[in-house]
Chains A and B, each alone.
Chain A
Amino acid sequence: MADTAKPKGGTARGSASRRRSRKDTALGNEKPETLLDYYRQMLFIRRFEERTGQAYTQARIGGYCHLNLGEEATVVGLMDALQERDYLFTNYRDHGYAIGKGMDPKRVMAELYGRVDGVSKGWGGSMHMYDTQTRMLGGYGIVGGQLPLATGAALAVTYRGGDEVVMCQMGDGTTNIGAWHESLNIAKLWNLPVVFVVINNFTGMGTTVEMSSAEPELYKRGAAFRIEGERVDGRDVLAVRDTATRLVERAREEQTPFLLEAWSYRQKGHSVVDPAKYRTDEQRDEARSEENDPIALFDAKLAKAGILTDDLREEIAASVKAEVTEAADFAENSPKPDVSTLFDYTYATPVPNESRRMPADPVFAE
């Protein structure tokens, strides 16, 4: 186990200084294209989510809507650590991951709009992005529900002698549900290549890590299952990528699960409609401050290194904006599902006598 970054748990809320990491990851020999690509991806997710929030308040998007604002570096770093053939399971905070795993943002937006071109044909919505092609095996709405599924997917991989890795994302609040314990135990017992990733934004809805976890240093909790855990500063895209890549590759080679905790700040409420009144002004400012904003942090770093010039920044911002607009337009113009398809996705193997009655239909129509 490696305590690679702050914060330490134990108090109701750690102070900002305690959470600050001591050292930034140096840019080292990174290719400028790679760095700019990360920057662009992070910005894209940010703008996409902002647009999503807007569309939600305009009632273009229904249901629940949980955004990745503040967690973009974690999303991009994690997704870059996966090979195309690797699988991903997430919770309901899944838009950024869906895009990061390679899904077409236009179709992600169309799913949010509940349209036929949505990744799940409008059947899933915000919480249930799924795509066989890019191996994003779904966002799930029951806290912890995705953990057993991820271990099972890894079982299928090893059953076939494959070398794919399964990544399973979740929030800090998930680490106290039964499925967490059962899944980590089974994953280790059966030597399954799963990387369990805990996104520690310090809150599950309004409940803090300290309120919910007897051991708030979450990465340590793999120890009960002899699963190595690491903690990384989730505001730092390169640190996330490096740590995640190392664990993903070790999972692949050693055929064993790992636990990764990435901490960062959830800039807004739990979902779009949550005003987060349980936060003090100070806590809100802390969550949204530039020093905790992964994009501002990375921007400053790239600018300092002379990689991100003002012109380039503008150019990227403009192209991101255009692409987000394109996604929203695409979603807006995609047809709504036809009601005649209502019974198309109940069973994969059709059956005789399946009830296909609409609410007012009689059971027996002569």
Chain B
Amino acid sequence: MSVITYRQALRDTLRAEMVRDENVLVIGEEIGVFEGSYKITEGLLKEFGPRRVKDTPIAEEGFVGAAVGAAMLGLRPVVELMTINFSLIAIDQIINHAAKIYGMFGGQTSVPMVIRTPGGGGQQLGATHSQNIELFYSFIPGLKVMAPSTPAEASSMLRAAIRDDDPVLFLENLGLYNSKGEVPEDYAEPENSNVATIGRAAVTREGSDITLIGYSRMAMVATQVAEKLAEEDISVEVVDLRSLRPLDRQTFVDSVKKTGAAVICEDDWLTYGIGAEIAASIQEGAFDYLDAPVRRVAMAEVPMPYAKPLETAALPSVESISTVIKETLSAVGKRVG
């Protein structure tokens, strides 16, 4: 095992996949000469040349759609969208084309492509650059939406995404790029078996009092919450969704059956959000096991403000999540702290 950043896990895995498979190419704005807005594609142009590392004009619909067309003919493009906010320009190609081509032509051609894109607030980037709009894509059958939270997940899930025959939206989070974690020694080897199964959630920390469910950055925050509450003798089980579509309901429902209570934390807006889907699935699958209503901790429902105190207040935090967990537990008469 070695400890590396989320950024490095992505970069090295992407490189390894390009070495392994000649059909893998990267397409996006500023990924070549500039080496990537977040330096995930650093060094790739030098190593693989402009044939396989394609800088594009600022034309999200044009180049995302071009990647879809290239994938239809068997290439495996990995598109970098500078941030998920700009995916809105390409949303027609993602939802109407990438997601639908396999189905509407009766399974004759698939679209083996990956769209890597960071999102998330907390960087003081203001309203149009701080969104988590993965919900739009998670809603769409035909797409796969992955949201790794640790360097090890980033590596094994990116590898799975690139090798998968369907279009995968691969969510990164600006707040995770510098986070560190353990990865297997061979994580950057072109041929290796660190390939995640798409569509599996994981219980990343066992606990008995309550289930805390998150994904991407919030799965990491959830772990911090669990560690903090452990000091107060509250045992939190953490479920990392990892994949938003397909959604592994079984894993979190089983966990709730065990603990009898659940809190969901998400880095996006509450109303109609991913937490709403999780909560609905819990009531459908574990109603009889619930000792308290399922609670959701989400972003404040505002366009993200720039000013630091406002932005910080708008985002879920270790504190806000801990508070809701304690409220939930006291509602069922469990001893809290």
Nearest Cβ distance between residue B233 and chain A, in whole angstroms?
32
- B contact residues around A345 at 8 Å (CB): 102-103, 106-107
Cβ of A142 under 8 Å from chain B = yes
Are B97 and A145 touching (Cβ within 8 A)? yes
Cβ of B255 under 8 Å from chain A = no
Q: A186-B57, A346-B102, A346-B142 are in contact. Are A145 and B69 (CB under 8 A)?
A: no
- A contact residues around B67 at 8 Å (CB): 152
Cβ of A311 under 8 Å from chain B = no
- A contact residues around B69 at 8 Å (CB): 89, 148-156
- B contact residues around A186 at 8 Å (CB): 56-57, 59, 62-63, 66
Partner-contacting stretch, out of B34-42, B192-200, B312-320: B192-200
- A contact residues around B246 at 8 Å (CB): 351-355
Are B73 and A153 touching (Cβ within 8 A)? yes
Cβ of B72 under 8 Å from chain A = yes
Q: List the count of A-B residue pairs having beta carbons below 8 Å apart.
A: 175
Q: A152-B65, A355-B246 are in contact. Are A159 and B70 (CB under 8 A)?
A: yes
Report how far A289 CA is from B250 CA in the complex, Å. Answer: 65
- A contact residues around B74 at 8 Å (CB): 156
Partner-contacting stretch, out of A16-24, A132-140, A234-242, A250-258: A132-140
CB nearest to B69 among chain A residues: A152
Cβ of A196 under 8 Å from chain B = no
Q: A149-B72, A155-B66, A186-B57 are in contact. Are A348 and B96 (CB under 8 A)?
A: no
Are A153 and B59 touching (Cβ within 8 A)? no
Partner-contacting stretch, out of B108-116, B129-137, B206-214, B267-275: B108-116
Are B108 and A344 touching (Cβ within 8 A)? no
- A contact residues around B72 at 8 Å (CB): 137, 149, 152-153, 156
Are B61 and A182 touching (Cβ within 8 A)? yes
- B contact residues around A155 at 8 Å (CB): 66, 69-70, 75
Cβ of B122 under 8 Å from chain A = no
Are A149 and B61 touching (Cβ within 8 A)? no
Cβ of A349 under 8 Å from chain B = yes
Cβ of A272 under 8 Å from chain B = no
Report how far A352 CA is from B200 CA in the complex, Å. Answer: 7
Cβ of A93 under 8 Å from chain B = no
Are B65 and A149 touching (Cβ within 8 A)? yes
- B contact residues around A348 at 8 Å (CB): 102, 107, 110-112, 165-166
Are A178 and B165 touching (Cβ within 8 A)? no
Are B281 and A363 touching (Cβ within 8 A)? yes
Report how far A313 CA is from B14 CA in the complex, Å. Answer: 62
Cβ of B101 under 8 Å from chain A = yes
Q: A132-B108, A138-B105 are in contact. Are A352 and B93 (CB under 8 A)?
A: no
Q: Which residues of B are interface residues toward A (Cβ below 8 A)?
A: 25, 51, 54, 56-57, 59, 61-75, 77, 92-93, 96-97, 101-112, 141-142, 144, 164-166, 197-200, 246-250, 253, 281, 284-285
Q: List 13 A-B contacts (CB under 8 A).
A: A120-B104, A122-B106, A130-B104, A138-B101, A145-B93, A149-B66, A153-B69, A153-B72, A153-B73, A185-B59, A186-B59, A348-B110, A349-B164
Q: Which 7 A-B pairs have the closest CB atoms?
A: A148-B65, A152-B69, A182-B62, A121-B106, A348-B110, A152-B66, A156-B73
